[in-house]
Structure 1
Amino acid sequence: MTKHFLLALVATAAPTALFAQDAAAPAKPPAKSHAETVKAEAEAGWATAPVEETEVRHRDSVTIGGKRYAYVASAGTLTTRDSEGKPTASMFYTAYTLDGTKPGTKRPITFLYNGGPGSPSFWLRMGSFAPVRIRTTSPEFVRPAPYDVGPNPDSLLDKTDLVFLDAIGSGYSRPLGDMKPEQFYGVDEDVDVFARAIERYVTKYSRWMSPKFILGESYGTLRSGALAYQLQDRGMALNGVILLSSIMNYGYRQPGLDQVYLNYLPSYAATAWYHNRIQNRPADVATIVAEARAFATGPYMAALAKGQLISPQERDQVAERMSQLIGLSPEFIKRANLRIDLPRFQKELLRGSARTIGRFDSRYLGIDTDAAGERPETDASSDAISGAYIASFRNYLTATLGYQTDLPYRLSARDGAGWNWNWKHKAPGGGYGSQNNPNTAIDLAAAMRGNPYLKVLSMNGYYDMATPFFGTENDLGHMMLEPAQQENLRYTYYPAGHMTYLNPDALRQMKADLSRWYDEAVSDARSATPPVPPTSSAAPAPTETPN
């Protein structure tokens, strides 16, 4: 389960349609099927998604790097169709394009989306690289309205046009006609409709000649792995894939597997460093993270592999070293069989203070009523920002962009009928068949092997406890790429959590990293020859961007 569903749970409920406030409005009729429901709701006057595509436009400007950029902000819907031309879904989007952009332009375009699964994209839209964002500072609860919303000097609009997409069933995105919600609620079903929506946008606005990028956050990175392959298989080769706070492999989260404990250890160490819970604390977080990586892939991995056959002496040695790295007592670590589940770490690190640490961002502190409890009572990092993001987006959409609809805005597709996510995934080639626990790093690897120009950038927060960065390194490090393809894979790290852009310093560094990366990706695609393979056959280790 990823961040955006949980955030939706703690947020205020989505408002009902405007006319629902009228006491004379007809009651919602019962129906036996989705098709009957759609028909009955239309006859009764209930709002349904439009088959005809909608769009509103608003002109504005933003200053980036001392230069003013005039742009067009648009909000609307894209109608996806099956191979016979039948409308299947209406996907809501918000786009930002430079004013005066002509059809057939070679200006880059990026499609962005959140995860969930089933989350709309207003988190990325209001927090990251759009020309307007909500400004946040310290890792504390954001003060109630009015919120600090304004121009974003760290916007990516100077490098690329931006299109934010909402998953079907979330936001204002809905199935059409007799299509059932569950026909879009699955790993492969979701990828298919996103591919169709992107193809529709590119066709409608004549962007086939534009360098194309996708940026997914959280579950959106799992979507990106399969989407990159699917778009390429359908004739749309991407220039780049940006993975923000990744979870591309759900296989290691099965009970009884030890990989999840290895994945979390460096994040635990970073968090203990941040809260000053370790002795001989190094000057920077990267140092303690490097020590934790080395321990996780060496003594810790070996110890866990022995299971109950581990000797008492080795158990003591491993527990002592873990204690030095993650700030918990050796006795507690041994009682947990050297395997520290995330809720226990969140509760135990600051035991005795009634404070717990956040899941999505471990810099945030929560206060529990039961200081002796086993797990946090809430996630402070979710509580702190949800109301601010939801309210600021709703106001921006209606008051600034002027988008009007009677549809209720869903904070998650899980709020509607038919929610039952299909986790099966058919990976390309290699005899993988259908996966019950999807791993789309396999799909991304296939896309990278087929397209020697495809660049992949993995962006990670040190304090992200929902999708730990060491797990990302493990997934991407097992794509079995050739040396030339490995050169196309980069990593960056930031002093932030799951939503790295909450930290303004991290956002500024992210923008600088992305600016260089976009320039390189576009330049390589325009060169006459493919990138030159490196002379060494050794796989490059993840490198960290200093902050």
Structure 2
Amino acid sequence: MRAYPLIAALGLAALAAQPVLAQEKPPAVEAPAKGSEKAAKADAPDLAQASAEEDAQPRRGSVTVGGKVIGYTVTPGTVVIRNDDGEAVASMFYVAYVADRPKGSAPRPVTFTYNGGPGSSSMWLHMGSIGPVHVETPLVEVAAPAPYKITENHETMLDKTDIVFIDAIGTGLSRPIGKSKGPEFYGVDQDIDAFARGVMRYLTINDRWDSPKFLFGESYGTLRSAGLVHALQERGVQVNGVVLLSSILNYGIRQPGFDQIFVTYLPSYAATAWYHNRLQNRPAALEPFLTEVREWARGPYATAMAKGSDLSDAERSAIAKQMSAYTGLSEKFLLSVDLRVELGRFRKELLRDQSRTVGRLDSRFKGIDVDDGGDGPEFDATDTSISGAYIGALNKYLFGTLGYKTKLSYRPNYYAQIGGGKWDQKHRAPGGRGGGAQMALADTALDLSMAMRQNPKLKVLSQNGYYDMATPFFGAEYDLKHMQIDPSLQKNLTYKYYESGHMVYINPAVTTQFKKDLDAFYDSATQGN
């Protein structure tokens, strides 16, 4: 969906033992000779493994958009990616939606889309966002148990672009093959290289090199997209547009000891306090309130943070007073944490007097802990509210409705192997002062900057949820506004905001505007095609 753990991986159902019936004695079977190839196969574990043969299992479907019926072919399948020596190293799973088009008409755009984690499959975007089907989820409450309602998505982008949902290696149905074991794909640069190879392979086997091309990433998928667009252009794949949904582009500013992350979170804290009616003088609307908070955060608050221990008691008290007015937290609490409110503490403290916590992925959601005394919430109320519906719907749709055949189990995530510090977060950014960049914590905003400078027609859309606490909108603004692109390229960068969380599309109240903003972006990025 990401740079955070979202849901527990699906377990395999246990098979019930079958009773032995009293029947006639079966014929004797001669045991294979010890050490023979047949014996070795008999002793080998029965493990489901991905195939080195590419797969495609197309089905037909239709969806109504704006009163018009669009026929399409949906294809679950795989592409095999190979290393520079031509060896097959991974099988990459995708589900592609290709709309019917009149013979001889211009090539349609194609959008490659994926979630993040790192370690998340594309399940969230696939079953909730721009595809022609989606699962219905509730408004800020726990989703009902099965059966889940999968319906046509009348806000799909299929009227503007064909869509290819891709699972990262290790997630969904994507797997390492051959001599590969997996860890060689689990890092920023390794992942970008794998996606570049997968995208190019899809273009080749589906004759899509002449199509306008878009990348659509969510969460860590935005960090991937910012690096991937440059990697593709370096390999000759010109991209028309990049959609960044709920962005995190720079790992560096999140290191312990740096204060920028506290500045980054402040407008999201204010939006959350506004939503839950925790402000004494609550404005009527989020904007221009949040514009005011932004200015104070990067002005007086950032200046106070920069002073460190040189901040006087009078200055400290003044900052705490204004910060309390913006966040709904008490001055006493703010002074007790040295004006630096970690995310977990905010989520626990804001509604502590109501015995409630707020969600990380979407702070509109509320959770209930075992007690009110902890420093942080026991769980993310957003995750626990909707993950069951998405997991159930994905499996029902892929293996039931589409009838996809495979021995593999779909992994909604693979955090057990990829998360917990196992992901290589280092990245070598392109160019830079002094003739080249060194390996450092990833900041792929630098890659996106290079891509935009090399391709002045490249368009970028940044979409953000006000209640997203995982990748706060002010952080996206900071990263994108520090790309140092020429003023003539600023017009190619657009920002849009929604009263929703990390997965913007789960709020039905904003999906129409979400679609309109995407429509305008695609029209702009394909002008002249």
TM-score (norm 2): 0.92
**Displacement after TM superposition at 1:180 (Å):** 2.3
Distance (Å, rounded) in 2 between the aligned partners of 1:58 and 1:340: 51
1:155-194 to 2 correspondence within 5 Å? 155-194=156-195
Distance (Å, rounded) in 2 between the aligned partners of 1:104 and 1:87: 35
1:106-125 to 2 correspondence within 5 Å? 106-125=107-126
| Paired letter, 1:7 | L
Aligned residue pairs, count: 506
2:515 pairs with 1:514 = no
CA gap of 1:356–1:432, structure 2 versus 1, over 3 A, is farther
* Structure 1 gap ranges (5+): 25-38, 527-547
**Displacement after TM superposition at 1:59 (Å):** 0.7
Distance (Å, rounded) in 2 between the aligned partners of 1:161 and 1:108: 6
Distance (Å, rounded) in 2 between the aligned partners of 1:268 and 1:219: 21
Q: Tell me the equivalent position of 1:386.
A: 387
1:71-470 to 2 correspondence within 5 Å? 71-100=72-101, 106-416=107-417, 420-430=422-432, 431=435, 433-470=437-474
Give the 3-state SS of the residue equivalent to 2:526 in structure 1.
helix
Distance (Å, rounded) in 1 between the aligned partners of 2:379 and 2:289: 28
> What whole-Å deviation, never above 9, does each CA across 1:378-400 have from its counterpart, x for those lacking one?
11011000110000000000111
CA gap of 1:301–1:41, structure 2 versus 1, over 3 A, is farther
2:42 pairs with 1:46 = no
CA gap of 1:454–1:76, structure 2 versus 1, over 3 A, is same
Q: Tell me the equivalent position of 1:29.
A: none
**Displacement after TM superposition at 1:371 (Å):** 1.0
| Paired letter, 1:449 | R
Distance (Å, rounded) in 2 between the aligned partners of 1:292 and 1:298: 10
Give the 3-state SS of the residue equivalent to 2:98 in structure 1.
strand
Distance (Å, rounded) in 1 between the aligned partners of 2:194 and 2:269: 37
Q: Tell me the equivalent position of 2:5.
A: 6
Give the 3-state SS of the residue equivalent to 1:485 in structure 2.
helix
> What whole-Å deviation, never above 9, does each CA across 1:165-190 have from its counterpart, x for those lacking one?
00001111111111121111110000
CA gap of 1:77–1:23, structure 2 versus 1, over 3 A, is farther
Cα RMSD for the two superposed structures: 2.1
CA gap of 1:70–1:104, structure 2 versus 1, over 3 A, is closer
Q: Which segment is superposed worse, 463-472 or 171-180?
A: 171-180
> What whole-Å deviation, never above 9, does each CA across 1:289-341 have from its counterpart, x for those lacking one?
11110100111011111111111111111111111111011111111111111
Q: Would the aligned equivalents of 1:221 and 1:246 in 2 still touch at CA under 8 Å?
A: yes
| Paired letter, 1:423 | Q
**Displacement after TM superposition at 1:344 (Å):** 0.8
Give the 3-state SS of the residue equivalent to 1:385 in structure 2.
helix
Q: Which segment is superposed worse, 107-116 or 423-432?
A: 423-432
**Displacement after TM superposition at 1:23 (Å):** 8.3
> What whole-Å deviation, never above 9, does each CA across 1:16-40 have from its counterpart, x for those lacking one?
6x9x77789xxxxxxxxxxxxxx98
Q: Would the aligned equivalents of 2:119 and 2:418 in 1 still touch at CA under 8 Å?
A: no
**Displacement after TM superposition at 1:101 (Å):** 7.0
CA gap of 1:41–1:52, structure 2 versus 1, over 3 A, is farther
CA gap of 1:465–1:115, structure 2 versus 1, over 3 A, is same
Distance (Å, rounded) in 2 between the aligned partners of 1:288 and 1:110: 35
**Displacement after TM superposition at 1:99 (Å):** 2.7
| Paired letter, 1:14 | G
Distance (Å, rounded) in 2 between the aligned partners of 1:187 and 1:280: 44
1:495-534 to 2 correspondence within 5 Å? 495-523=499-527, 526=529
Distance (Å, rounded) in 1 between the aligned partners of 2:298 and 2:330: 21
Q: Tell me the equivalent position of 1:531.
A: none
Q: Would the aligned equivalents of 1:462 and 1:493 in 2 still touch at CA under 8 Å?
A: yes
Q: Which segment is superposed worse, 79-88 or 338-347?
A: 79-88
CA gap of 1:418–1:257, structure 2 versus 1, over 3 A, is closer
| Paired letter, 2:266 | L
Q: Tell me the equivalent position of 1:483.
A: 487
Distance (Å, rounded) in 2 between the aligned partners of 1:276 and 1:418: 35
**Displacement after TM superposition at 1:258 (Å):** 0.2
> What whole-Å deviation, never above 9, does each CA across 1:445-485 have from its counterpart, x for those lacking one?
00000001100000000000000000110000000000111
Q: Would the aligned equivalents of 1:186 and 1:422 in 2 still touch at CA under 8 Å?
A: yes
Identity %: 51
* Structure 2 gap ranges (5+): 20-39
CA gap of 1:312–1:215, structure 2 versus 1, over 3 A, is same
Q: Which segment is superposed worse, 155-164 or 434-443?
A: 434-443
TM-score (norm 1): 0.89
Give the 3-state SS of the residue equivalent to 2:352 in structure 1.
coil
> What whole-Å deviation, never above 9, does each CA across 1:353-392 have from its counterpart, x for those lacking one?
1100000000000011111221111110110001100000
Q: Would the aligned equivalents of 2:2 and 2:218 in 1 still touch at CA under 8 Å?
A: no
Q: Would the aligned equivalents of 1:104 and 1:209 in 2 still touch at CA under 8 Å?
A: no
Q: Would the aligned equivalents of 2:2 and 2:120 in 1 still touch at CA under 8 Å?
A: no
